[in-house]
Amino acid sequence: MERKDIGSWLEGPPQLNPEAWPGQRLGRPESGPGSVVRIGRRVGALCIDWALAMIPSFIFFDGSALANLTFFAAMQIVFVGVTGHSIGHRILGMQVQGMDGSAIKPLQGLVRGLLVCLIVPPLVTDPDQRGLHDRAIKAILVRI
């Protein structure tokens, strides 16, 4: 007798609704403005921000890895905390918003920026593609 209620670990995490899109249960549209940003744009914004952080690191600190991380963290904390998006986010049309669509506060930007620098929180996501860093501050990265 075969049991259908127990899945294999090879099947991956269970999906509640295979037709659902990230953000649907949060009331977000499937695509366009207000929809949850997918991985491609996130990685693109990260590369842009990291490259911009490398410029002063190379000019003033001979490319020190610690200086690069410090400039990256400062950019994330200041820009996301004040405007809701980093330079990379803005170029690629994204914004960090509260769950109700409002702008995040500077303290939320500080916490999010520090968690992004830890690397692991953005990699651990929920079905709505919100990383631990966004869930910790009750925010979501959406297209604008």
pLDDT at 137: 95
Q: pLDDT tens across 52-61, in order?
A: 999 999 999 9
pLDDT at 121: 85
Secondary structure class of 76 (helix, strand, coil): helix
Question: Using an 8 Å Cβ cutoff, are 124 and 131 in contact?
Answer: yes
The amino acid at 48: I
| Other beta carbons less than 10 A from residue 115's beta carbon | 20
pLDDT at 53: 97
10 — pLDDT class (breaks 50, 70, 90): low
Question: Residue 1: is its pLDDT beyond 80?
Answer: no
Spatial distance between the Cα atoms of 116 and 137, rounded to a whole number of angstroms: 12
Helix axes 39-61, 65-75, angle to 10 degrees: 130
Question: Residue 17: is its pLDDT beyond 80?
Answer: no
Please report which helix (H) or strand (E) contains residue 75, including its range.
Answer: helix 65-75
In this prediction the pTM is 0.81
pLDDT at 59: 96
27 — pLDDT class (breaks 50, 70, 90): confident
What are the b/e assignments for 50-83, b being 16+ CB within 10 Å? Answer: eebbeeebeeeeeeeeebbebbbbebbbebbbeb
Burial of 130 (0-12, 13-18, 19+ CB in 10 A): buried
Q: pLDDT tens across 113-141, in order?
A: 999 999 888 888 888 889 999 999 999 99
Spatial distance between the Cα atoms of 53 and 110, rounded to a whole number of angstroms: 17
9 — pLDDT class (breaks 50, 70, 90): low
Those residues whose C-beta lies under 8 Å from the C-beta of residue 67, and which sit 6 or more positions away, are 56, 57, 60, 61
| Residue at token pair 């990379």 | 88
